Amino acid sequence: AQSVTQPDIHITVSEGASLELRCNYSYGATPYLFWYVQSPGQGLQLLLKYFSGDTLVQGIKGFEAEFKRSQSSFNLRKPSVHWSDAAEYFCLCSSASKIIFGSGTRLSIRP
């Protein structure tokens, strides 16, 4: 069955530290992959997306993600987090017939 897993429910990092949020998917073929961010009380905003081509994609707010087919992963990274990055992050996989969000990772920033 198709699935999206975000294994970390909650992560706390210090301001200025690097960040990696994990996303693993299970699909029959390479899906389209997205990362969204949700600030408290807000809707979701697209950070970046991968359809094909270069496996390292750059997004907004200094985020990047790398698609690794061999590991079925699409992890989100940021070299130095800011307090304003505190939010919930969702990985999304879609194909011709399915749209599945991961369960989300809540990011807290330690001053």
Partner 1 sequence: DARVTQTPRHKVTEMGQEVTMRCQPILGHNTVFWYRQTMMQGLELLAYFRNRAPLDDSGMPKDRFSAEMPDATLATLKIQPSEPRDSAVYFCASGLNTRFSSTDTQYFGPGTRLTVL
Binding site for partner 1 (CB under 8 A): 32, 34, 36, 42-46, 49, 51, 90, 94-97, 99-104
Smaller CB distance to partner 1: residue 75 or 95?
95
Cα dist. 21→28, 58, 68, 96 in Å? 23, 15, 14, 26
Whether the CB-CB separation of 77 and 85 falls below 8 Å is answered with no
To partner 1, the closest distance from the beta carbon of 18 in angstroms equals 26
DSSP helix/strand/coil, 26: strand
Smaller CB distance to partner 1: residue 44 or 76?
44
To partner 1, the closest distance from the beta carbon of 14 in angstroms equals 27
Smaller CB distance to partner 1: residue 50 or 85?
50
To partner 1, the closest distance from the beta carbon of 99 in angstroms equals 5
Smaller CB distance to partner 1: residue 15 or 88?
88
To partner 1, the closest distance from the beta carbon of 96 in angstroms equals 5
What would the two tokens of residue 77 be?
């990274």
What would the two tokens of residue 35 be?
């990362």
Cα dist. 15→30, 31, 103 in Å? 34, 33, 24
